[in-house]
Every structure is written in structure tokens, then in C-alpha cells.
């Protein structure tokens, strides 16, 4: 299996677990989740063995601790005001 095929399969798995929820998030939060998925892919010996719980863990980490809803609301207001 080529590296490109492995990446595609990894992303398909991540999408099957997270896609609908991630697409509803603000861009800044989505970008952070994508970055963390990339880091997860690179740090695992076999990224295709990533569990649903690991994907969920990234979602929870980013949406509850790194970018909690209050932060996202403030970011959205500042963005609308052009700050």
C-alpha cells in the first residue's frame, strides 16, 4: 500500500467518525482539528490502527479545551467587527 493510499484510508476513517460535527464548527476550530489529525497520523506506527476513541479524543480536546464555545463566540464577534 502506498503512502497516499494510507493517508486516504486514514482520512476516510476520521471523516466517518467526525465529519458531520467538524463541518459545523468555525474555520479556526476545523483547522486545529485537521492539524491534530495530521499530527496523530505522523506519530503513530500504523495510523490505520487509529481507533474511533482516538478520533473522538481529538474532537473533545479541541472543542472543549483548546477552543471552548465561549472562545469561539468571542472570536466570531471579533471577526465580524473586523478586528
**60-69, pLDDT tens digit by residue?**
999 999 988 8
Whether residue 40 contacts residue 11, with contact meaning beta carbons closer than 8 Å, is answered with: no
pLDDT, position 83: 60
Positions in the chain whose pLDDT score sits under 70: 83
Q: Which three cell numbers stand for residue 7?
A: 493517508
Whether residue 40 contacts residue 58, with contact meaning beta carbons closer than 8 Å, is answered with yes
pLDDT reported for residue 51? 97
Q: What is the pLDDT of residue 79?
A: 82
Report d(CA 37, CA 8) in Å as an integer.
12
Long-range CB pairs of 42-49, under 8 A, 24+ apart, other chains included: 47/6, 47/10, 48/6, 48/9, 48/10, 48/13
- Given this model, what pLDDT does residue 57 score? 97
Amino acid at each position: 500500500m502506498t503512502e497516499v493510499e494510507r493517508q486516504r484510508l486514514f482520512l476516510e476513517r476520521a471523516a466517518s467518525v467526525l465529519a458531520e460535527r467538524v463541518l459545523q464548527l468555525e474555520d479556526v476550530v476545523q483547522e486545529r482539528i485537521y492539524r491534530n489529525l495530521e499530527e496523530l497520523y505522523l506519530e503513530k506506527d500504523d495510523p490505520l490502527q487509529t481507533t474511533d476513541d482516538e478520533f473522538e479524543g481529538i474532537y473533545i480536546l479541541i472543542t472543549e479545551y483548546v477552543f471552548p464555545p465561549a472562545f469561539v463566540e468571542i472570536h466570531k464577534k471579533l471577526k465580524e467587527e473586523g478586528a
